[in-house]
């Protein structure tokens, strides 16, 4: 795994949180993107080598809606950049981590992604992500 690609933060209201993170980081988000499959609207901030992804639910049954209902707003996942997602998924499975998707999925911000179940990663939802062009 090369670096932390981004941290995902679940928020109740994307517009309000975009303002808050603009004040916090001293920079505007550089994109807003809907991920229909996941029922989320996302905003991305660049901060040095890494990024912050804010996530607001667009459906009552989404992972983010459930997360906020159970735990409130806060850090939702850590995403690691990988060069070869197929090889990393195979390695993760062989090491005993539970993959939440058997094939890479299209994620936000030009990535293909795979999530690992937090029950197998000390309670932290982990995402592997690779640039789409590399697939």
Residue 130 C-beta: closest distance to ligand CMX, Å: 14
**Residue 22 or 118: which CB sits closer to ligand CMX?**
118
Residue nearest to ligand CMX (CB): 63
Residue 119 C-beta: closest distance to ligand CMX, Å: 6
Q: Based on C-alpha coordinates, what's the Rg of the chain?
A: 15
Q: Please, where are the H alpha helices in 1-135?
A: 14-25, 63-71, 85-94
Residue 49 C-beta: closest distance to ligand CMX, Å: 19
Q: Tell me which residue has tokens 């459906």.
A: 59
- Residue 113 tokens read as 């992604």
Among 123, 122, 119, 120, which Cα is nearest to 92's?
120
Interface residues toward ligand CMX, by CB under 6 A: 8, 35, 38, 40, 42, 55, 63-64, 66-67, 70, 76-77, 100, 107-108, 115, 117-118, 123, 125
């Amino acid at each position: 795994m090369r670096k932390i690609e981004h941290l995902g933060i679940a928020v109740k209201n994307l517009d309000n949180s975009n303002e808050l993170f603009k004040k916090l980081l001293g920079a505007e988000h550089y994109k807003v993107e809907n991920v229909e499959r996941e029922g989320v609207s996302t905003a991305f901030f660049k901060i040095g080598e890494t990024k912050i992804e804010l996530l607001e639910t667009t459906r009552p049954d989404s992972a983010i809606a459930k997360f906020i209902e159970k735990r409130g707003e806060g850090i939702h996942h850590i995403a690691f950049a990988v060069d070869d997602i197929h090889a990393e998924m195979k390695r993760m499975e062989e090491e005993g981590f539970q993959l939440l998707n058997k094939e890479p999925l299209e994620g936000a911000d030009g990535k293909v992604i795979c999530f690992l179940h937090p029950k197998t990663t000390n309670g932290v939802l982990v995402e592997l992500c690779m640039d789409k062009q590399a697939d």
